[in-house]
Structure 1
Amino acid sequence: MTLSLHKPLTREVSLHVDAPVEEVWALVSDVTRIGEFSPETFEARWRHGSTGPEVGARFKGHVKRNGVGPTYWSACTVTQCEPNEVFEFAVGTDDLTVNNWGYRLEPDGTGTTVTEYFRLEPSLVMRAYWTLLGPLRGRTNERGMRTTLERMKAVLER
């Protein structure tokens, strides 16, 4: 087995939404609503005194892997928070980030192009994981991101 040191450990999905960037921002940065949209994360709660999106805010996501299990809580920390532009968070502990998830927003005519993405940390363990399971997990994540964005779009365009 050869581990590529340059193979990207990331994927993204973009979708145009007929809603102003401020409305899209309010939705993607409200982690307590993710259970309405995500096929894997069915709830999230702010924790450690955090009450909303800002760099350093902490929350936990309740995940049902692949929509069937196992079920577990993931600790998350907001790492980028630029209103109406980007909302990103790291998944892991204070000592070890496993991956990063986020949303980029771009005004697009009368609407917004929203991009959901994930990026694995480039550790040897994550590179080995991605080499072995990356194609399968990458496709699963892409389907999940597309589902999440389509469900958000339906709410935003009502």
Structure 2
Amino acid sequence: MKLSRSLGDEVTVWMDAPPEEVWDLVSDVTRIGEFSPETFEAKWTRGSTGPEVGASFAGHVKRNGIGPTYWSPCQVTACEPGKVFEFAVGTDAITVNNWGYRLAPRDGGTDVTEFFRLPASLPTRLYWLVLGPLRGRTNRQGMRTTLERMKAVVES
């Protein structure tokens, strides 16, 4: 297993909708509260009004669905409509995590992959060595929940 893969994971769910419709959900950060079990709201910040590389937003997170609760600053790092939406979580100086969605047309619908990856710094590697299995399981369950909730909306 490659190091970059070991410091992250992904979940894919097929949705009976074209990539353009799914894109509208994954790239509208203001709707994340409808889907995520941890991030219950988000808003564009620093003058940003929508998805584009460099756009800033903040996610209001309730860690593990129970707390603590805090705002996480984020910045869009990849934005290809109908294909990929990715963002870095952290400050301008330090990225603590990267999250995103990849969309791929298949069988008249879309394979939607939500993923996360952590930077391969020594502190992060140590954190992941100790807490990675537990946090990884929580993230996988959260990604599956998020994608299944999006699927229900986009297919209704």
Q: Which runs of 4+ in 1 moved over 3 A?
A: 4-7
| Among candidates 8, 15, 21, match of residue 13 of structure 2 | 15
Question: CA 1:110–1:76 in structure 2 vs 1: closer, same or farther (change >3 Å)?
Answer: same
- After superposition, the CA RMSD in angstroms is 1.3
Deviates more, 1:6-15 or 1:90-99: 6-15
| Distance in 1 of aligned mates of 2:129 and 2:140 | 17
Deviation at 1:136, TM superposition (A): 0.3
Deviation at 1:110, TM superposition (A): 1.1
Per-residue CA deviations over 1:97-130 (Å, capped at 9, x if unaligned) read 0010000000012100000000001111111100
Helix, strand or coil: the match of 1:148?
helix
* Cross-structure match for 1:48: 46
- Counterpart code for 2:108: T
Helix, strand or coil: the match of 2:132?
helix
Asked if 1:116 is matched to 2:114, the reply is yes
Q: TM-score, normalised by structure 1?
A: 0.96
| Distance in 2 of aligned mates of 1:87 and 1:79 | 8
* Cross-structure match for 1:78: 76
- Of all paired residues, the percent bearing the same amino acid is 73
| Among candidates 35, 38, 41, match of residue 36 of structure 2 | 38
Structure 1 spans left out of the alignment, 5+ residues: none
Per-residue CA deviations over 1:27-47 (Å, capped at 9, x if unaligned) read 100000000000000000000
| Distance in 2 of aligned mates of 1:68 and 1:99 | 20
